[in-house]
Chains A and B, each alone.
Chain A
Amino acid sequence: MGKADILKAIKKNRPEELPIPSLDFPASTGQDLKMLFQERLSAGGGEVIFAKDSLEAEELVKKQVGDYQYVAGAFEKLNTLDLSAIHDPHELELLDLAVFEGILGVAENGAIWVNEDTLVHRAAPFITQHLVLLIREDQLVDKMHEAYKRLRTQDYGHGVFIAGPSKTADIEQSLVIGAHGPKSLLVIMLPPSQD
């Protein structure tokens, strides 16, 4: 019923076919992507720290851990919670800190793409009180157009661009960090992959 009616009404009312534009946007103009990324993510309430290798990154995360009880993610030695042993995502409620590897970063808006392959649980980067994302310089692209070109071939059930801690300005336009999700986002930027 609904489908047939809607399709019929569209066929009757739509205009003649109009052309679809090609999307040829200029590529990067030689900007320093990692500095631009840092500037844009900071504007969105996140923090970027540069690390020289993954050992240094782990040290940085260790500092973040402080007295947090429940930690999960990329650095096994620091984990107190095994994400793959959890079946009901509601159990993630106690998560203090989660650390994930990003797949791609976008310099123009400071967003990092992650999907459930690395997250294990879709809810994890939202329900955790604090979030750390790792990204390598060679995973940065300049604009969203390039990001979607690279993601085209990815197979995912759910993926998300994250561009800061959870935030709101719904009370008289005052910006408050930590609406429902993480109260902080730290991005650790690593040098290009050596492989």
Chain B
Amino acid sequence: MSHPSEAQKFIKNENRVNWHDESLWHVREKRDKAANLFPEWEQLREKASQIKAHSLSRLDHYLEEFEKNATANGIKVHWANDAIEHNEIVYNIFREHGVKRIVKSKSMLTEECHLNPFLEKHGVEVIDSDLGERIVQLAKETPSHIVLPAIHKKRMEIDELFQKHLHTQPSNGDAIYLTAAAREHLRQKFMKADAALTGVNFAIAETGEFVVCTNEGNADMGVHLAPLHIASMGIEKMIPRYEDLGVFIRLLARSATGQQVTTYTSQFRKPREGTELHIILVDNGRTVQLGREKYRRSLHCIRCGACMNTCPVYRRSGGHSYQSVVPGPIGSILSPGIDMKKHASLPFASSLCGSCSDVCPVKIDIHQQLYAWRQDITRETNEEPSKKFSMKLAGWLFTHPNLYRKAGKFGRKALKILPRWMVYNSLNAWGKQRELPEPPKQSFQEWYQQNRQKNG
């Protein structure tokens, strides 16, 4: 499985590709408008990047400070080396409380840990409460975007899905009707849940509190009703000071959707009276990434999804083509760090245009890291034999200038006179779904020599 072969499935339907492309570009445009509203945007990005870099350089200190302060606040703090430990901690707490039904708000970390299938195997009913996540859960799919989980789904598909699972009437994809149906369905789930799970957007060492941002209010509906709240966070979500929140909250929603702020910025410091609040600090490969100097900055990520919305490859290949919990440009530098072999094709799923780095609110040098991964992957894994051969051939040609010139001349002629089937066939990936450019009459060198002689 590779990105190109998965992307092929998505691009079969050209109308859908164009629709997907335009939907995401629209979000990117909204982000630009929000970022251009005030003059200190670039300053905010710089500060955010510095805070994250500092925080990572003292991460052990801040995690311990967080644990101390959160514990004093009455929060129970757990540590998990990997996904298996994380899932076991969650399940043990559930067993203690006799938990049978839970509601969950968006958490890419629990996706990464494959928590849902683990809990379901143990007989726990897991309901994803974010509307987009509920849609993909009912469809037995995974999110294709970290902020817009069902961005790949057409409204008619959702209509049919809801008819089947929520017994709605056919509505021709009426978003208001379908959302209202989901509201009723999920309210029942909120009312009956024994526990609520959330992710964490930011955790503050200084105050021992954490922040969860949503537009729907689903995280809050879950945790303020259930007698038990478990929050899962990757250790890189730690920030040192309370005031640092000002920087990140100003960046997050504007980068993600172009809103000024998410509807709810919910800050948890103590458990609600008579209930328990747990937080699980998860490593799962993050400390390894911390040790890779070239890729360390990928841990700055605040999961806004801006790099996906702007990426010309993501927009046209869809999130599922990445076969990775976090897709898109940021996923393509995070995932090879977890399993290089499995995700070897991802750093190549980019034009290296650099737009991802430009929009990143915490200034991750995403396209530079994609390029670095390409080099590491080519060195350490077996490249596609056809690519290897053609690269060798090209390398040899470039070291023989006379031959190179002759080959160029031959190529320009050949492209003009060869029959169409000899140029546009399965051997030429560049000729798929597009016309090759008209071959130039002469090479730059020929042109230069000619004009140089003319003009002295």
Contacts and interface: CB of A to CB of B under 8 A. Distances in A.
Interface of A: 1-3, 5-7, 9-21, 23, 25-26, 40, 43-44, 89-90, 93, 106, 108-111, 121-123, 126-127, 143-145, 147-149, 151-152, 156-174, 176, 178-182
B102 interface: no
Contact of B183 (A109, A110, A149, A179): A179
B441 to A, nearest CB: 47
B81 A5 contact: yes
Interface of B: 23, 26-27, 38, 40, 43, 46-47, 50-51, 53-54, 56-60, 63-64, 67, 73, 78-81, 85, 129-132, 135, 148-151, 153-155, 158, 173, 175-176, 178-180, 182-183, 186-187, 190-191, 215-218, 220-221, 224-225, 235, 240-247, 249-250, 257, 259-272, 281, 283, 287-288, 290-291, 293, 296
B269 A158 contact: yes
Contact of B47 (A9, A11, A23): A23
Given A170-B149, A173-B26, A180-B221, A161 B264 contact: yes
A179 B50 contact: no
Nearest to B186: A180
B291 A12 contact: yes
B303 to A, nearest CB: 17
A78 to B, nearest CB: 23
A1 B241 CA distance: 28
Given A14-B58, A166-B263, A171-B178, 11 more contacts: A2-B283, A9-B283, A10-B290, A44-B263, A110-B261, A158-B268, A160-B267, A163-B260, A167-B215, A176-B175, A179-B216
Contacts of A126: 217, 220-221, 224, 264
A9 B287 CA distance: 6
A7 B81 contact: no
Contacts of A168: 131-132, 179, 215-216
Contacts of A43: 260
A163 B264 CA distance: 7
A1 B81 contact: yes
A157 B209 CA distance: 9
Contacts of B263: 44, 162-167
Contacts of A156: 267, 269
A120 to B, nearest CB: 11
Given A111-B265, A152-B242, A170-B135, A180 B218 contact: yes
